[in-house]
Structure formats: structure tokens, C-alpha cells
Structure 1
Amino acid sequence: MVDGASRSARAIADARRIVLKIGSSLLVDGRTNTVDHARLEGLAARVAGWMDQGRQVLVVSSGAVALGARRLGPKARAGSLEAKQASAAVGQSLLMAAWAAAFEPHARITAQILLTRDDTETRRRWLNARATVGALLDMGVIPVVNENDTVATDEIRYGDNDRLAARVAQMIGADLLILLSDVDGLYTADPRSDPEAVHIPHVETLTPAIEAMATGPNAGAGMGTGGMATKLMAARIAADAGCATLIAAGRSLEAGESFADLRSTLIDPATTVRAAYKQWIGGSLAPRGTLVVDAGCARALAEGNSLLAVGLVSADGAFGKGDPVGIVDGDGMEIARGLVRYDAGELSKIIGVRSADLAAALGYEGGPVVVHADDLALRRP
């Protein structure tokens, strides 16, 4: 039998791409509403260590509103949405400066990414965000993500960074989501009010019975909007995307513990990252257009290659960049579905065009790939 700590250690050791979400209660001193630099430096050292081992790490960081409210003083205490957005605008620069300073001793570069719900739910914006974040990770940069509270309204907000972190993990194909806050995992009941509550170190499947154990926000923390309920919601999003979730308390790191040794709850993924993404493309998205390909292109797709402009015979539909399209052969049989990298107007200019002639046909350098193999799901006979 494998104990909880061993499972957590293995999950971290096996992960190649990690999303680390850190709550406000860990980053901001509740007494002074200033950055807890010592904790940030400790977290930065651990992240840098993971990166030295070849892992890619993205940080989802709360704290901007609390930091901005302190800097603004009484002006930010109105409690309105506008006051909160103003606090976020002021505090975000303070938060990013603190992260940059924490990673500087490790010669690591940070990058600010601000997202709203539309950025992970609108396909074109989702593709653009994924491409940018992927490029940063490949360059060895640490993206620091937060919700764009300055422009987000109730209609387009995530509402908490647990769910934002899960959507980001889904977007970038992460192997592991770590939710680090002031709670050390899931219990059978609220341990603050029930002394008989039992800690659960490992969850294979998120069932209704497991989800019923979740409680609301930790009011004693004094900041933040998430609780165990939102963490389990985030874990379900991650699990369905092939990503494991580790829920742990960050305060224990002050005692010198490693992430692998922390008391925590590990929630297994429901599938693999690749299978989840392919299933989403092939089974969850209604095509907004149809691409007809020649026989050579059809064979190339079956062998796992990308769809190139040269293999196109025709295109039908009013689709935009990032929209799902059906791909059919000369007999009209659908052989695949994928996310197209050109809109219908652009694609009409490059049907059957060889790679060397694409720039001239388009008027700019757009690349020969119409649907990348990573964004393509073959239809099984």
C-alpha cells in the first residue's frame, strides 16, 4: 500500500508541467496587508528547483486586491466593484514586482498573464493564450497568472483562483495542479468544528459523496474567496482534463518541509491529458465549417501528421481562427475534426498552395499548417 506522502511525492516527480496556485493568505501578511517576502522567496526557490530538474512551472497568484487596498488606504474601502478593480490595478504591479524579486536570485524571468473567463472559454482567445503561455514555458520563463480583476465583471469572472488555476491547467495540458492555501487537504467533515474529522490523503474518483465533504471559505483566513468546495470543483475540471490535483497547506513549508512531504490530498486524473483534449475536439465541439482534403493529405492525417494548405481541395463555412471544423475526404466521409488556424477568408486564398508560395498568397507569413496534429482528432471507423 502506498501512503499519502509517497503518492504526492510520486505525482510531483512524474509531472513535467505543473500549475502552482497560491492563495492570498500565504502571500499577504494578514496583519499588515504587505507581501510576505520570506514565503515568496521560499516558494521561488522550490519552483526554481523543479525547473532545474527539467519541469515547466506556471504560477497562479492571488494577492493583488489585498496589496492594492493597503496602498490606496481609505479610498479602497467602499466595497464596490469599482473600488475592488482599482485595488487590483494598483496591487497587481506590486505583486509582480514581488515575484520578480523572489526569482531574481535564481536567474529566472517572470511574465505577467492576466485572464478573464472569456480567455479560456472563447476558442480563438483560448488558442492565443495557450500559444503565448506555451512559448513562455518553452523559453524557461515562469508565467504568473491572475484574474484580470480590473476589467472583469460578475458575468465574466471566475470568482476564485482555484477554478482559474484549473482552467489554466486544462489549457496548457498540465500534469499536476497544486492548490496551495491554508488548508492541508480534504477531511470527512470540517476539522475546525468537528474533532472527529478524518483527513483523506488520496482520492481516486471524485464522487458525490466525496464532494459532499467539502466546506465553504475559511473565514478565519481573513482574505480569499475559495474554500474546499471550490477546490474540489477545480479538481474535477483538472481531472477531466487528465491532470492530477494536490491540495496542501503552504504554511508548513516554513518549517522546511518539501512539497512531497506536506500533509495533503492527492486527487487522481480521470483520463490522460492527450486523450481528454482529443475527446474534447472530437466529441464536444460542433463543426463550424468543412474542409475537403485530397487522398494524399487523408493518408498523412491518418499517420498522425498536420493538415497543410497544399492538401486542401475546398473549404465551406463561415468559421474563424480557432473554430472547430470537420475534415472530409474526396468521398465526403468525415475523417477528422480539428481546430483551424485560419479563418474562412484567409483559407480561401491558400487552398492547394504550396508552403513556399503561402506568404505571397496571403500577403504575410502565416505558416503552412491549417490544422495542427495536436489540435486534430481522427474519427474512428
Structure 2
Amino acid sequence: MTVLDTDPAEFGHAAKRDKPRIVVKVGSSLLANTPDLRPRYAFMHGLLSDIAALRDQGFEVVLASSGSVALGLNALKSDSERAGIQEKQAAAACGQPVLLNAYKQIALEHGFDIAQVLVTLDDMEDRRRFLNTKNTVHKLLELGVLPIVNENDTITTEEIRVGDNDRLAAKVAQMIQAQHLVILTSVDGLYDKNPDEEGAKLIDKVDDVSEYLAVTSGTNSLGTGGMFTKMQAANMAQNAGCETIISRGILDDPISAALQNRRPHTRCVAKSTPQSAWAVWLTDRLQMAGSLVLSQSAADALENSESGVSCSDLISIHQAFQKADVLHIYDERGVEVARGLSNFSSDEAALIASNPDREIRDLLGYQAEMTLVNRQNLVILEDHHLPWDEPEQSLRVIAA
């Protein structure tokens, strides 16, 4: 059995706190003027003024901020359309001090300080690093400092990056067990079709995110995420019992005006019975580490199984993975049925499955059970989870 360090609270619902928590995500288009790519100080003053007011009202706030790449492109005399991955990494290095200096100076005017929390995909997907990041954010909140979270774009590549700050903000909301995720963007919220089209109507309430994924394609010129990633983020927050508000980033009270229903927005309601923090971490992934196809009979019996996933149930393995990676588990029809924590690497799992009559000690050099995913480390997917499509290419085919 794979054992990872966890907080006791990770296996239950959030403990009651005196102070409710809000995660606010701000996109690049709100923070950088176009075409000169300089900070939008007026908006930043309005944002931090509103955060100061919310803090005075008893809220704890975490800010997930884009903008470093956009602001850094100005220093490199480049733009987002021409910049490659290395140039964007360099732009992030140039833009981070510009962004944080602006935040710090404005925050100090309102009587509080800020801290930068740079994360990578591995910080969110690896359990121990996730908990270490969580502890840092909790300590900053305890000390009255505003954590400003962003992906560390100076060291990430396309293959290993989170990809968008919408879902990163949702992971932070899950991490700190926030009550509200507020995504500030350049439109009033989710529309039933492209908001530039005639007759487009704002959707003020969303219960089932999956109903609206087909109408959410498209991104802006500065950001990496469009409305599709915002719906993904909303689903992640919903599963953790956190409501999501998508609203236009206006100058005056951009957060509280939406929270108090004083301006148009889309509200994605939280699930009334959220999953445990452990189940949320297992199911809501930012990137697929690896996946399995099980025999149909094994997949059908999985929900009522007490033993989890056995290596003997494998039909094929997709993508290489390591021990303690979270796997996406499919049936033979290509339907994703579960996600769970692996006890073996992909090479080890394939070796065991291909040699059912040999002792595991002889195959691996150490004693272990046939169980690839223990039942306590397995979550059966339900209708409120957004499934991932099965990868087309197989790394290993175990059975025909």
C-alpha cells in the first residue's frame, strides 16, 4: 500500500473556521494594457481596495494572478503572437518583479503586505508538495499577508505546465477549502453563445457545468485560458463545495459587487455534499499522468469492489507513469470510470500483468501485492465529474 503524508482533515470535510475564504483569479487582459503591455494601475488599485474591504469584513483572501508574461513581453520588445516558449519564460522573469512591485506598493497603501507563491504543475499534482504549498498559504493567511499565487512560468514548458490560471485558482480554492472562487475576466460571465453574436444571453446560474462546455471555446490574445477553462475550474470548485462567480473585472468593487449581486455575473453553485479533500485531490487533475484500460467485467465490478484495481485486470496501459501518480481508469468501451493512486510504475505494472504465474518478488526484486490501486486510494467517477478522453496510443497492450 502506498502511504503519503496527509493532514487528518484531508480525509473529511473542511473544519469550521471563523473566517470565510475567497480565492480571486485575475487574468492578464485585466492587468496589462494593450498594446503597450504596461500595468493597469487603476484596475489594480480598485482590486486591492476591494480586497482590503473584504479583509476588514472578516474574509481571508488569496489572489491568483496572471500577468507576468504579458508585462515582461514589453521589456523584451515582443508580443504574445511572436513569442516562443523560451521567450515567454524570459518574459515571465522580467514581468514578475514588475507585477509584484505594483501589487506591493498598492497593498501597503491599504495597510497590508503581500507574498508571492510561485508553483509548478508538480507542486499541485504531487501530494507532499501540494501539502507543503498548502501549509505555506495557510501560514500567510494566519499572519494577515495576502498570498499571490501564480504558475512559475520561468521554468515550465508546454509539457509540464499547469496551462491556465483558472484551474490553478480552482486548485488553490480546493487547497484552502474556500467558500468562493471569483474569476474576474473581460466579459460579464458565461453566455449561451459567443457574446459578440447578436442575441447572446448571459447565463446567471449554472448547476451542471457539462451542459455548457460546447459553447465555451476561444481565448483572448494575452491569456492562455478562455471560458472553457473557467467552466473546468468551476467544476473543480463545485466538487469541493466552493461556489464560483465569473464576472467582469470592473474598476470599482470588482469582487464584492459580484458577491453581493450588485452587477451581472454567472454563479456556478457548489455541490451541497462536497467530496472529502482527499477525494477532490484524487479526481480533479490538472494533467493526466497515465491511464489504464480494464477488462469490462473488472470495470463494472469496481464500484462494489473492496480490493481496488488488480494488475490482472489490465487490458492496456497508456502513457508512462510512476509510483504514486494518479491514474485515469477506463473500461473497454473507452468510458472513464475512476481515478486512483498507483502502487507501481507503468513498467512494473506491465511486467506483473504480463507474467501472472510468476511471483512479484521474482519480477520486481521486492515483495508486493497484485493490487495496482488500493480501494481507499480510488474514487469512482460520478456525473458531476468531467471525464477525460482516453489517449489513442497505448504504451503497453497487456491483453488482446
Give the TM interval when normalised to the shorter protein: 0.5 to 0.7
Indicate which of 67, 82, 85 corresponds to 2:89. 85
For residue 208 of structure 2, the aligned residue among 198, 205, 210 is 205
Given candidates 195, 199, 207, the residue that maps to 1:196 is 199
Contact 2:206 2:266 in 1 (8 A): yes
Superposed CA RMSD: 3.0
Deviation digits for residues 3-32 of structure 1 (CA, Å, limit 9, x no counterpart): xxxxxxxxxxx9810100001111111132
CA distance in 1, matches of 2:138, 2:132: 10
Separation in structure 2 between the aligned mates of residue 255 and residue 238 of structure 1, nearest angstrom:
20
Q: Structure 2: 5+ residue runs without aligned partners?
A: 1-17, 285-323, 327-375, 378-400
Q: Report how far residue 283 of structure 1 moved.
A: 9.8
Label 1:272 to 1:118 Cα distance change in 2 as closer, same or farther (>3 A).
Answer: farther
Confirm or deny that 1:215 pairs with 2:217. yes
Equivalent pairs, count: 271
TM-score, normalization by structure 1: 0.65
Letter in structure 2 aligned against 1:154: E
Contact 2:50–2:255 (Cα < 8 Å) also in 1: no
Partner of 1:277: 277
Query: What is the CA–CA distance in structure 1 between the aligned matches of 2:138 and 2:158, rounded to whole Å?
Result: 28
Q: Which amino acid aligns with 1:250?
A: G
Contact 1:15 1:175 survives alignment (8 Å)? no
1:147 aligns with 2:151: yes
Aligned equivalent of 2:360: none
What amino acid does structure 1 have at the position aligned with 2:212?
A: I
Q: Residues of 1 paired with 2:191 and 2:82: CA distance? A: 36
Does residue 227 (structure 1) correspond to residue 230 (structure 2)? The answer is no
**Bigger helix share:** 1
- Tell me the CA shift for residue 77 of structure 1: 8.2
1:246 is aligned with what amino acid? I
Contact kept? 2:179, 2:243, Cα under 8 Å: yes
Using the alignment, how far apart are the partners of 1:76 and 1:185 within structure 2? 24
> How many angstroms apart in 2 are the aligned matches of 1:210 and 1:76?
28
1:256 and 1:171 map into 2 onto residues whose CA distance is 20
- Deviation of 1:89 after TM superposition, in Å, equals 0.5
Q: Distance in 2 between matches of 1:243 and 1:212?
A: 23
**Pair 108,204 (structure 1): closer, same or farther in 2 beyond 3 Å:** same
C-alpha offsets along residues 297-328 of structure 1, whole Å, 9 cap, x if unaligned?
xxxxxxxxxxxxxxxxxxxxxxxxx999xxxx
Judge conservation of contact 2:63–2:148 (CA < 8 Å) in 1: yes
In the alignment, what sits opposite 1:57? 61
* Corresponding residue of 2:392: none
Residue 117 of structure 1: CA displacement?
1.2
Q: Which residues in structure 2 correspond to 1:170-185 (within 5 Å)?
A: 170-185=174-189
2: distance between equivalents of 1:50 and 1:39?
A: 17
Counterpart for residue 29 of structure 1: 33
Distance 2:65 2:154 in 1: 15
Q: Counterpart of 1:87 in structure 2: which amino acid?
A: A
Contact 2:182 2:255 in 1 (8 A): no
On the 8 A contact 1:17/1:56 being kept in 2, the answer is yes
In the superposition, relative to structure 1, how do residues 224 and 255 fare at CA in structure 2: closer, same or farther (>3 Å)? closer
Q: Name the structure 1 match of 2:391.
A: none
Specify the alignment match of 1:339 in structure 2: none
CA 1:229–1:108: 2 relative to 1, 3 Å? same
1:54–1:190 CA distance, 2 compared to 1 (3 A): same
- How far residue 196 of structure 1 moved from its aligned partner, in angstroms, is 1.7
| Closer/same/farther in 2, CA of residues 50 and 83 from structure 1, 3 Å limit | same
- Give the TM-score normalised by structure 2: 0.62
